[in-house]
């Protein structure tokens, strides 16, 4: 690496420190880092609302009865620009969600990773540059 590039890269760290990927609010105040969660269930509906979207998931409890969970995801607005609509996800689809539980102790969490039943990651395919076969469902 040339001296010049080294200087540039030294700058990048600073740039990101100066302009971090700031969320709308402090997620760690809403969700507990000490309570990781892993949910497997079926999608009841995806609320494409702001500032963050919410996935309603039915998860089978230990006694076989269904328990409704609410899982936070991202603002839908950029996905809408990329062609995602309310009909992109259908209710009844299987989702595996890893994330963290809400601090208020109710059946809520933030979805750190959304994965489809066949192992593909949710959404990224159609929207990420160069993405593709390994992700779905795709936009457009």
Partner 1 sequence: MRNRFRPSVIVSVAIVTVLVLTGTVTTGQSPTYKAPRTTDGKPNLNGVWQALNEAYWDIETHPAAPGSVTALGAAGAIPPGPGLVEGGLLPYQPAAAEQKKKNFENRLTLDPEIKCYLPGVPRANYMPYPFQIIQTPKYIMMVYTFARAVRTIYMDDHKEAPADSWMGWSNGRWEGETLVVDTTGFNGQAWFDRAGNFHSDALHVVERFTATSPDHLLYEATIEDKNVFTRPWKISMPIYRRLERNAQIMDFRCVEFAEDLIYGHLRKPSGK
Partner 2 sequence: MNHRFLVVGSGLIVLVALMWSATIPVAGQARAYRAPRTPDGQPDLQGFWTNTTYTPLQRPKEITKEFYTREEALEILKTSAVLESEQTEPGTIPDVHYDFTQFGLDRNQGGLALNLRTSLIFDPPNGQLPPMTAEGQKRTAARAEARKRMGRPTDAVQNQSLSVRCILMDRAGPPMLPGAYNNNYQIVQAPGYVMILVEMIHEPRIIPIDGRAHLPQHVRSLTGNPTGRWEGETLVVETTNFTDKTGFQGSSENMRLTERFTRVAEDRILYQFTIDDPATWTRPWSAELPMQKTIGPIFEHACHEGNRGLYNTLAGARAEDKKAAEDAARKSSSQ
Q: How far is the CB of 48 from partner 2 (least distance, A)?
A: 8
Q: Does 76 bind partner 1 (CB under 8 A)?
A: yes
DSSP code, position 134: T
Decide: 115 and 121 in contact? Cβ < 8 Å: yes
Q: Does 89 bind partner 1 (CB under 8 A)?
A: no
Q: Is 14 helix (H, G, I), strand (E, B) or coil?
A: helix
Residue with tokens 């009841």: 44
Q: Does 99 bind partner 1 (CB under 8 A)?
A: no
Q: How far is the CB of 88 from partner 1 (least distance, A)?
A: 9
Q: Which stretch binds partner 1 (CB under 8 A): 3-11, 19-27, 78-86, 121-129?
A: 78-86
Decide: 56 and 44 in contact? Cβ < 8 Å: yes
């Amino acid at each position: 690496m040339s001296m010049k590039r080294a200087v540039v890269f030294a700058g990048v760290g600073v740039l990101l420190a100066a302009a971090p990927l700031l969320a709308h609010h402090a997620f760690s105040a809403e969700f507990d880092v000490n309570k990781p969660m892993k949910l497997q269930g079926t999608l009841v509906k995806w609320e494409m609302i702001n500032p963050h979207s919410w996935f309603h998931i039915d998860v089978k409890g230990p006694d076989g009865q269904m328990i409704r969970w609410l899982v936070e995801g991202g603002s839908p607005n950029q996905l809408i620009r990329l062609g995602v609509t309310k009909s992109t996800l259908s209710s009844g689809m299987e989702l595996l969600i890893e994330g963290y539980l809400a601090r208020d102790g109710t059946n809520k969490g933030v979805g750190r990773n959304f994965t489809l039943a066949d192992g593909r990651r949710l959404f990224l395919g159609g929207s990420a540059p160069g993405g593709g076969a390994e992700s779905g469902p795709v936009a457009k």
